């Protein structure tokens, strides 16, 4: 985890520096790229902080072991539903939202409604039916 935190600290710092240099380069007149680069830096720094904060709860991880092997990463990473159809309406909703941003507001609203439906279905997938917990 220490190696992961270090990588994200470096990436976040890099994007903050690049955002500042880019801002001076374009004389702070371009308002699409500058906030996007700063957002990348902020997200990387948040991940670095989170990984570093949670590192205190855990012992040395496989990435921190100098003699570590790939097999050390084996184990259960979560519960996945390979039979799930919920990603399909969510992908359609994302396409409709992007299309709505380009064309008209009513397409955006239809995509947002479909996204809410698909997200709720995917979140509660294991709460009903055959695979309920």
Q: pLDDT digits over 51-89, tens only? A: 998 877 776 666 667 777 777 777 776 677 778 899 999
Token duo for residue 68 = 């570590």
Confidence of residue 109 (pLDDT cuts 50, 70, 90): very high
| Contact by Cβ (8 Å): 35, 20 | no
DSSP code for 9? H
**Which pLDDT score is estimated for 132?**
66
CA distance 4 to 84: 31
Residue 16 has pLDDT above 90, yes or no: yes
**Residue written as tokens 């990588």?**
7
What pTM value is reported for the model? 0.54
Confidence of residue 106 (pLDDT cuts 50, 70, 90): very high
């Amino acid at each position: 985890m220490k190696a992961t935190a270090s990588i994200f600290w470096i990436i976040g710092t890099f994007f903050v520096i690049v955002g500042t240099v880019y801002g001076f380069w374009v004389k702070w007149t371009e308002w699409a790229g500058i906030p996007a680069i700063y957002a990348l830096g902020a997200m990387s720094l948040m991940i670095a902080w989170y990984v570093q904060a949670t590192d205190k709860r855990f012992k040395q991880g496989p990435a921190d072991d100098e003699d570590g092997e790939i097999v050390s990463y084996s184990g259960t990473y979560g519960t996945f539903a390979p039979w799930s159809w919920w990603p399909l309406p969510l992908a359609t909703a994302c396409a409709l939202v992007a299309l709505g941003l380009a064309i008209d507001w009513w397409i955006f609203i239809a995509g947002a409604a479909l996204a809410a439906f698909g997200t709720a279905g995917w979140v509660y997938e294991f709460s009903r039916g055959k695979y309920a917990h």
